[in-house]
Amino acid sequence: MLNQSYEPLNICRVRRAIPLLDQGKAEMLENGRGFIHTVRASFAIPSVIRLDYVVRRPRQRQRMTRLEIFNRDSYTCQYCGQESNQLTLDHVSPRHQGGQHTWENVVSACARCNRRKAGHTPKQAGMKLKRLPGPPKDSYNFNIPHKYRSTKTEWRKYLPG
Ligand SMILES: [Zn+2]
């Protein structure tokens, strides 16, 4: 089941999908294999459906933990580019200068760079970020259970990446 935005939401049973299609709340994007026959009608078995409305996902953003930030930055200091497993968190715009504790303002920094930057902005410290920080790209993880991987090949093109 895809959101209106084509983002995969979940895997549901055919008997949940058919009423959604029947009531015009979803459209079928991929036909499955075969038909379901009832006394009154026959329905194509849907394999991929897209909702006609937006489902708000409660946890679209990942929790911002130290590990998630290190992960996002591939365990690399965002100033000198050195890979390390002994990183610290750095507020790009320092908290005492109004910097927020957000994905956009927190980066991984090695101890040396963190000391050098101290309570300054990168500009004040004459340092440069390797890249603009933001929420992790893979904040949306939808994995196809292993048992469907070889059988539901028509699902693949709807998955991110
Ligand atoms: Zn560094």
Residue 115 CA to ligand 1 center (angstroms) comes to 9
Between the CA of 81 and the centroid of ligand 1 the distance, in Å, is 6
Residues whose Cβ atom is located within 5 A of ion ligand 1: 77, 79-80, 110, 113
Higher pLDDT among residues 61 and 131, named by residue: 131
Distance 91 CA to ligand 1 centre (A): 14
CA 114 to chain centre: 29
Average pLDDT estimate for 99-107: 95
Rounded CA separation 93/87 (Å): 18
Which residues constitute the domain of residue 11?
A: 1-55
Q: Which of 55, 77, 98 is where one domain is finished?
A: 55
Q: How far apart are CA 25 and CA 10, in angstroms?
A: 16
Q: Could you tell me which residue, 21 or 74, shows the higher pLDDT? A: 21
Our count of domains for the chain comes to 2
Query: Residue written as tokens 């750095």?
Result: 90
Say yes or no: 119 and 82 in one domain.
Answer: yes
The pLDDT of residue 38 is above 50: yes
* Planar angle of CA 50, 53, 55, nearest 5 degrees: 90
Classify residue 117: in a domain, yes or no. yes
Nearest partner of 26 among 42, 41, 48, 43, judged by Cα: 48
DSSP state of 137: G
pLDDT band at 122 (very low <50, low <70, confident <90, very high): very high
Residue 160, domain member (yes or no):
no
pLDDT score, position 139: 46
Centroid of ligand 1 to alpha carbon of 51 (angstroms):
46
- 93 shares a domain with 44: no
Mean pLDDT over residues 153-160, rounded? Answer: 84
The pLDDT of residue 140 is 55
From the CA of 140, how far away is ligand 1's center (Å)?
29
- Cα 24 to ligand 1 centre (Å): 55
Q: How far is the CA of 79 from the centre of ligand 1 (A)?
A: 5
SS3 assignment, position 48: strand
Mean pLDDT for the chain? Answer: 87
Q: What pTM value is reported for the model? A: 0.52
Residue 159 lies in a domain: no
Cα–Cα distance measured from residue 106 to residue 120, given in angstroms and rounded to the nearest whole number: 13
Residue 154 lies in a domain: no
Residue 161 confidence class, pLDDT cut points 50, 70, 90:
low
Q: Answer yes or no: do 41 and 74 share one domain.
A: no
- Residue 59 pLDDT exceeds 60: no
